[in-house]
Amino acid sequence: MSDVRVDTWGACVDFPIFDAKTRSLKKSVLGAAGGVIGANASNVVVVEALKDIDLHLQHGDRVGLVGHNGAGKSTLLRVLSGIYEPTRGSCRVQGRVAPVFDLGVGMDPEISGYENIVIRGMFLGMSRKEMLRKTDEIAEFTELGDYLNMPLRTYSTGMRVRVALGVVTSIDPEILILDEGIGAVDAEFMKKARVRLQELVKRSGILVFASHSNEFLAQLCDRALWIDHGQVRMDGGIEEVVGAYEGPDAAKHVRTVLDEIAAEQTGTPVVPGSRPVTEADG
């Protein structure tokens, strides 16, 4: 597990759009959302989703990706998961990847919650035997009781998310690739899920997590990359990067969450807005 690694060297991803009208496009467009739109040598329109990404992650790295809509976060996660090959440059991943892009992927509406637990776990790289061992514990976490014997199609959206979250947080990944979409459950359940997510991250070798929730980023990651029009604009601590991307209020929110986590770990209560008195205070 300690030799897990993720490396990219100058990785670029271009999406050719064969049915776009070249004539109506300016040479290279930089909008508020989306990657740069350009044209390749054959005059085919391309979206430059990622450009020259150099990323080197090792065991223990917990990296959050922030950036505008269409910045390239999901594309980068797909490159790291081996779903996309870089158009130029390269990517090498050492270790077993568990990609969690959509909580519902791999779930079958016609089979029971119990059966879905096993299937979804296998989809994430676990063996059938391992999943059967974990089923009772996952069932208890979901609090769905007898519903777990009924077909998944009879569940509400939130009930499905409970099953999916239960499974996702039960696996033992070497490299965990998480893409948002984990907020569709009620607040009380989310509190419970958060603890499990934190435990999951702790036992993962590497985490890469794309999210628009600074709270989640602060809870799960200790480093952030700001992706801007397909490029890494900044690489640093969560507070610093969120501050640069979204401003001082967002950075303050991150600081509060980090203080809460530190206090939970040391057992010290947090006084809102408090900070140690320094010499500068006079």
Ligand X SMILES: Nc1ncnc2c1ncn2[C@@H]1O[C@H](COP(=O)(O)OP(=O)(O)OP(=O)(O)O)[C@@H](O)[C@H]1O
- Name the residues that contact ligand X, by CB under 6 A: 15, 34-35, 47, 49, 67, 69-75
Least gap, CB of 245 to ligand X (angstroms) = 12
- Rounded CA separation 136/198 (Å): 20
Q: Which is nearer to ligand X, 35 or 99 (CB)?
A: 35
3-class SS of residue 126: coil
Amino acid identity, position 182: I
Least gap, CB of 75 to ligand X (angstroms) = 3
Q: Which is nearer to ligand X, 29 or 195 (CB)?
A: 29
Amino acid identity, position 253: H
Least gap, CB of 15 to ligand X (angstroms) = 3
- Rounded CA separation 139/68 (Å): 37
3-class SS of residue 115: helix
- Rounded CA separation 177/264 (Å): 26
Q: Which is nearer to ligand X, 49 or 103 (CB)?
A: 49
Residues in the chain, overall count:
282
CA-CA-CA-CA torsion for 79, 82, 86, 91, nearest 10 degrees?
Answer: 90
3-class SS shares of the chain: helix, strand, coil, % to 5:
40, 25, 35
Q: Which is nearer to ligand X, 3 or 102 (CB)?
A: 102
Least gap, CB of 188 to ligand X (angstroms) = 27
- Rounded CA separation 210/216 (Å): 10
Q: Residue 267's CB: how many other CB atoms inside 10 A?
A: 6
Q: Which is nearer to ligand X, 79 or 164 (CB)?
A: 79
Least gap, CB of 122 to ligand X (angstroms) = 27
Least gap, CB of 67 to ligand X (angstroms) = 5
Work out the angle between the directed axes of helices 128-142 and 113-123 (0-180°, nearest 10).
130
Q: Which is nearer to ligand X, 180 or 260 (CB)?
A: 180
